[in-house]
């Protein structure tokens, strides 16, 4: 019998955000965690596990406690003495945001250090989610360990969802990123790429080119493209699902991650890809009207039910 849980694998960082002046606000965010946050909010009957590695410092303890308060566990993820989480700060110039990172020695880079624990975390999951950032923070051997564990979960019946989420500065070079992402796509059931990323990484001219290229490897592909329509490739047919225009977005952080979480929640609830994308657009539109990557569960639920 297949499990009921949802698991997301990656790095959740400390997020420092300030308006102006010396006061900073600390939160927790990271692409795969933002997706799990939305997915968990919208399928709260499913056990949710964030699969990573953590330090034993007060910030890691705070992170794990924050997850638990919101119904998200860490399963068998290793807690590594002396390790600590990565950190990033957001600075604003007008409405433009820029990010500064301190993450080179983050605990999450050791998420595949215990292959047995990693495999155990992926057992009995209805869905396992990961991203190109998950791949980028691991060395070559750890990446191979991770993809072996993911393939094993898939063989046992888990749906595997993957967002290539290409961030050039995390990779040694473009060729490494291409190779790792192609390997991950080979064990993927639902791919959730973003067109500008794919254009940068693979040279795709149009969202259709991305959908065609990935459609040969993955059976369900959703190409996101900001405020333009999402393109769904399902069994070799393409459908456009229009996005929702938000006149004055407050903060676009986490919009794509929330789209992914909502799309996957809708698919797990039995909705077809087009209905799932429509709900996901509603959720993304609500998220850009909230500060920070993590919108309140109520906001996400209201948007999800509205489409």
Please report the pLDDT score of residue 242 as a whole number.
96
Please report the pLDDT score of residue 186 as a whole number.
98
**Is 98:105 a contact under the CB 8 Å cutoff?**
no
Please report the pLDDT score of residue 1 as a whole number.
44
Answer yes or no: 56 catalytic.
no
H-type alpha helices, the chain: 31-42, 58-69, 115-121, 132-136, 140-155, 174-185, 195-202, 207-215, 255-268, 273-287, 297-306
Interval 65-117: pLDDT, tens: 999 999 999 999 999 999 999 999 988 776 567 889 999 899 999 999 999 99
**Is 201:174 a contact under the CB 8 Å cutoff?**
yes
Please report the pLDDT score of residue 292 as a whole number.
81
**Is 34:64 a contact under the CB 8 Å cutoff?**
no
Please report the pLDDT score of residue 32 as a whole number.
98
Task: Tell me the residue length of the chain.
Answer: 307
Catalytic residue, chosen from 197, 204, 251, 257, is 257
Which segments in the chain show pLDDT lower than 70?
1-2, 19-20, 94-96, 307
Distances (CA, A) of 136 to 58, 93, 250: 26, 28, 29
Among all chains, which residue has been given the structure tokens 């039910």?
Answer: 305
CATH number corresponding to 31-56+74-82+112-306:
3.40.1190.20
Q: Any residues with CB less than 8 A from the CB of 103 and at least 6 apart, and which?
A: 11, 13, 86, 87, 88, 137
Which structure tokens are listed for 247? 């006149």
Domain locations in the chain?
A: 31-56+74-82+112-306
Interval 274-291: pLDDT, tens: 999 999 999 999 999 988
């Amino acid at each position: 019998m297949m499990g009921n849980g949802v698991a997301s694998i990656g790095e959740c960082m400390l997020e420092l955000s300030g308006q102006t002046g010396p006061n900073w606000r600390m939160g927790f965010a990271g692409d795969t965690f933002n997706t799990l946050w939305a997915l968990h909010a919208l399928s709260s009957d499913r056990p949710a596990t964030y699969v990573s590695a953590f330090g034993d410092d007060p910030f890691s303890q705070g992170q794990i406690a924050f997850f638990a308060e919101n119904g998200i566990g860490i399963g068998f993820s290793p807690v590594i003495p002396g390790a600590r989480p990565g950190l990033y700060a957001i600075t604003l110039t007008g409405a433009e945001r820029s990010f500064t990172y301190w993450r080179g020695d983050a605990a999450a880079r050791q998420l595949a250090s215990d292959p047995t624990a990693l495999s155990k975390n992926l057992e009995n999951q209805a869905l396992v989610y990961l991203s190109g950032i998950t791949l980028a923070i691991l060395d070559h051997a750890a990446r191979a360990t991770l993809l072996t564990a993911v393939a094993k979960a898939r063989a046992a019946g888990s749906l595997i969802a993957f967002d290539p989420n290409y961030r050039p500065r995390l990779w040694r070079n473009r060729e490494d990123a291409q190779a790792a992402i192609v390997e991950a796509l080979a064990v993927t059931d639902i791919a959730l790429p973003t067109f500008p990323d794919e254009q940068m990484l693979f040279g795709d001219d149009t969202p259709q080119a991305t959908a065609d290229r990935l459609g040969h490897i993955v059976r369900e592909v959703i190409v996101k493209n900001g405020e333009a329509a999402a393109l769904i490739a399902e069994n070799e047919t393409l459908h456009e699902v229009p996005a929702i225009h938000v006149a004055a977005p407050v903060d676009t952080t986490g919009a794509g991650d929330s789209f992914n979480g909502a799309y996957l929640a809708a698919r797990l609830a039995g909705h077809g890809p087009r209905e799932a994308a429509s709900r996901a657009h509603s959720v993304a539109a609500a998220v850009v009207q909230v500060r920070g990557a993590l919108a309140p569960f109520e906001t996400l639920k209201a948007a999800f039910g509205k489409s």
